[in-house]
Amino acid sequence: MSQGFDYDLVIIGAGVGGHGAALHAVSCGLKTAIIEAADMGGTCVNRGCIPSKALLAASGRVRELRDAHHLKALGIQVENVGFDRQAIANHALNLVSKLQGDLTNSLKRVGVDTIRGRGKVAGQQKVTVTSDSGDKTITAKDIILAPGSIPFVPPGIEIDGKTVFTSDQAVKLESLPQWVAIIGSGYIGLEFSDVYSALGCEITMIEALDQLMPGFDRDIAKIAERVLITPRDIETYVGIYAKKVIPGSPVVIELANFKTKEYVDTLEVDGCLVATGRIPATKDLGLESVGAELDRRGYIPVNDSMAVLSGGEPVPHLWAIGDATGKMMLAHAASAQGIVAVENICDRQRQIDYRSIPAAAFTHPEISYVGMTETAAKELGEAEGFTIKTAKTYFKGNSKALADGDADGIAKVVYRQDTGEVLGVHIIGSHASDLIHEASAAIANRQSVHSLAFLVHAHPTLSEVLDEAYKRAVHA
Ligand SMILES: Cc1cc2nc3c(=O)[nH]c(=O)nc-3n(C[C@H](O)[C@H](O)[C@H](O)COP(=O)(O)OP(=O)(O)OC[C@H]3O[C@@H](n4cnc5c(N)ncnc54)[C@H](O)[C@@H]3O)c2cc1C
Ligand SMILES: NC(=O)c1ccc[n+]([C@@H]2O[C@H](COP(=O)([O-])OP(=O)(O)OC[C@H]3O[C@@H](n4cnc5c(N)ncnc54)[C@H](O)[C@@H]3O)[C@@H](O)[C@H]2O)c1
């Protein structure tokens, strides 16, 4: 099969993207190797999705059991709910080590060769691997780059890993600062505000842009603020950035106006989580050896087939996937890109469809979306000459949500008025991360509210919030 090459496919980076690509490659009959310089499983398994969701699960239970008012409404009394910080941290650590083992074994089981060391492209169809035992060169018909990303720390912020830290350390839950500043109100800021507030920390959230959760649909962000921020022990600064952060006891944070750069205030807190985005881990990948280069933000330029581009043209036999491509920094997006790359390697043309890839924040309640925000859809409508409509339904009108006593939230469908095609769906509410998938399938198939409104949903289920939204759209 390998036609004079050591492998059909060599993948650099064994994160979720590389892992997904490797499993698919083997199922397509490709002789495959994967190179990993650090932890098998990459960010998601070791420092991302998995430990953070373990912390959210445990802290979410604490929040629920301490919500006497909510429990009383269901006729339940619970007294003296306590927790053990280290035991919660251990739950996350144990899960990481289990899933890291499972991922490593799954590669071994299907016959993927795992090579430990740092991989680098060394010319067409060639990779060098540097490890403690020296350098070696391997050849492959195709190469996939999946080196992932690392936390971005803005200038002026000093990380000591104890009092001022990124998510890399926060997922270990080594301490619970009584007063914690969270810089950034994106996914990580929001999820950790959920963990820390449930476990009794006071929070100050600092967001540079002029609204909290700037990446979310505006209606959803407004409700998220009402449900996830305002009723909790969270103070917010918006349009303000952390100009300087000095670790210690206390941590000293100098705040400035993001637009004017003028001094605003100085905070002294017990801990500070820096959650200001992530940057690609793409240094020294050897792209120049095949005449390619990173874009100005350090991402690997790719097309929708996941081919690496040089001067806008695909570089033969070189592909890139995952966070390092800067498209959608999500675990399932990375592995979906990996599958697309492998399909194209096998000469079956396939392109990634970002519009149908869902995303979720695992707060309590959860937020999820797929496709475009109303603002983005309107911009597209103006450019292409169609009108956008939206339909909203409320969890308060859903029998199952009322029975659960969890009736905060909405579902919002963004669609074209002319064809009814669904362009985006946004949900905040109980189990939003699971509810989004039928909308994702609808968008993948470019379905219209006119056909979706005839699908039958079991009663009483939370999924009826979407059923109701599609029906409202049709009868609007
Ligand atoms: C706190 C947190 C929570 C998150 N939660 C979620 C979530 O709930 N859901 C979700 O979808 N996403 C979540 N994400 C995002 C998700 O973790 C990433 O999108 C995903 O890990 C990207 O996968 P990847 O394969 O592109 O890269 P990575 O997971 O970063 O893996 C890249 C791997 O490549 C290795 N590597 C890099 N360069 C080289 C080289 N030259 N040679 C050899 N190896 C190399 C690295 O060591 C690393 O192991 C979260 C992220 C964080 C930080
Ligand atoms: N549930 C999930 O799927 C999940 C969870 C966590 C992380 N992630 C992924 O990890 C990536 C990184 O997450 P993140 O929350 O760090 O990034 P993010 O891009 O989601 O949010 C960063 C926020 O920080 C703000 N910011 C940047 N610099 C600032 C400064 N100096 N002062 C104040 N605010 C500042 C930005 O305006 C932005 O709102 C995300 O892109 C996401 O894809 C996903």
At 366 the pLDDT is: 98
Q: Are residues 262 and 294 in the same domain?
A: no
Ligand 2 site, residue 405, Cβ cutoff 6 A: no
**Residues 286 and 219 both lie in one domain:** no
Q: Return all residues near 305 (Cβ < 8 A) that are at least 6 apart.
A: 314, 340, 341, 344, 349, 350, 351, 352
Choose among 469, 424, 462: nearest CA to 443: 424
Query: Residue with the nearest Cα to atom 12 of ligand 2?
Result: 277
CA of 153 to the centre of ligand 2 (A): 11
> Which ligand 1 atom lies nearest to the CA of residue 330?
19
pLDDT band at 337; cut points 50, 70, 90: very high
Distance 187 CA to ligand 2 centre (A): 5
* 184 known ligand binder: yes
> pLDDT category, 372, cuts 50, 70, 90?
very high
pLDDT at 347: 97
In 3D, which of 137, 145, 46, 38 has the Cα closest to residue 95? 46
Is 182 labelled a binding residue?
Answer: no
CA of 57 to the centre of ligand 1 (A): 21
CATH number at residue 224: 3.50.50.60
What's residue 476's pLDDT?
78
Distance 19 CA to ligand 1 centre (A): 11
Sign, CA torsion 254/258/264/267: negative
Structure tokens at 35: 């190179």
pLDDT in tens, 87-103: 999 999 999 999 999 99
What is the residue with the minimal CA distance to atom 14 of ligand 2?
277
53 among annotated binding-site residues: yes
Which of 173, 205, 166 lies closest to 83, judged by CA? 173
The mean pLDDT value of the chain amounts to 97
Cα-to-centroid distance, 4 and ligand 1 (Å): 32
Q: Are 142 and 163 members of one domain?
A: no
Residue 83 lies in a domain: no
Tell me whether residue 56 is in a domain: no
CATH code for the domain in which residue 411 is found: 3.30.390.30
pLDDT of 2 above 90: no
Which atom from ligand 2 is nearest to the alpha carbon of 359? 3
**59 domain residue, yes or no:** no
Q: Does the beta carbon of 376 sit less than 6 angstroms from any atom of ligand 2? A: no
Q: 184 and 249: one domain?
A: yes
Bridge partners of 180? 203, 271
Residue 249, Cβ density class (10 Å: 0-12 exposed, 13-18 middle, ≥19 buried): exposed
What is the model's pLDDT at position 1?
56
The ligand with the least distance to the CA atom of 280 is: 1
pLDDT in tens, 261-301: 999 999 999 999 999 999 999 999 999 999 999 999 999 99
Which atom of ligand 1 sits closest to the CA of residue 117?
A: 43
If you take atom 39 of ligand 1, which residue's CA is the nearest one? Answer: 147
Question: Which residues 6+ apart lie within 8 Å of 401 measured at CB?
Answer: 395, 407, 409, 429, 430, 462, 465
Report CA-CA distances (Å) from 220 to 226, 375, 413, 423.
10, 12, 12, 16
Catalytic residue numbers, as ranges: 459
Q: Domain count of the chain? A: 3
175-213 residue pLDDT tens: 999 999 999 999 999 999 999 999 999 999 999 999 999
- Is 20 a known ligand-binding residue? no
145 lies in the same domain as 293: yes
Nearest-atom number in ligand 2 for the CA of 156 is 31
Number of other CB atoms surrounding residue 296 within 10 Å: 6
Collapsed DSSP state (helix, strand, coil) of residue 2: coil
Q: Which residues line ligand 1 (CB under 6 A)?
A: 12-18, 35-39, 42-44, 47-49, 52-53, 118-119, 146-149, 167, 171, 188, 281, 322-324, 329-332, 334
Ligand nearest to the CA of 272: 2
Last residue of a domain, one of 276, 306, 339: 276
Order across the sheet with 359-361: list the strands. 359-361, 366-371, 422-429, 410-416, 388-394
Q: Per-residue pLDDT for 472 more than 90? A: yes
Same domain? 26 vs 98: yes
Statement: residue 114 has pLDDT above 90: yes
Specify the pLDDT at position 3. Answer: 76
- At 392, the pLDDT band (50, 70, 90 cuts) reads very high
Residue corresponding to tokens 């980076």:
13
Q: What tokens does 253 get?
A: 């944070």
User: What ipTM describes this predicted complex?
Assistant: 0.98
Q: Dig out the tokens for 41 from the structure.
A: 């499983």
> Which secondary-structure segment (H or E) carries 454?
none
- Ligand showing the shortest atom-to-Cα distance for residue 103: 1
Strands annotated E in 73-117 = 113-116
312 among the known binding-site residues? no
**Distance from the CA of 412 to the center of ligand 1, in angstroms?**
30
- Integer CA distances (angstroms), 332 to 215, 360, 442, in order: 19, 11, 18
Q: Which residues contact 228 (CB under 8 A, 6 or more apart)?
A: 190, 193, 194, 363, 364, 365
Shortest-distance ligand to the CA of residue 204: 2
Q: Provide the residue range defining the domain that includes 433.
A: 356-475
| Nearest to 52, CA basis, from 104, 100, 96 | 96
Whether 15 is in a domain gets the answer yes
Query: Which domain-ending residue is among 318, 352, 386?
Result: 352
Last residue of a domain, one of 352, 380, 414: 352
* Residue 278 CA, closest ligand 2 atom number: 12
Question: What is the rounded average pLDDT of the residues 112-121?
Answer: 98
Are 35 and 111 members of one domain? yes
Residue 328 labeled ligand binder: no
Ligand 2 close to Cβ of residue 325 (< 6 A): no
Q: Is the pLDDT of residue 72 over 90?
A: yes
Tell me the C-alpha distance between 453 and 75, whole Å: 37
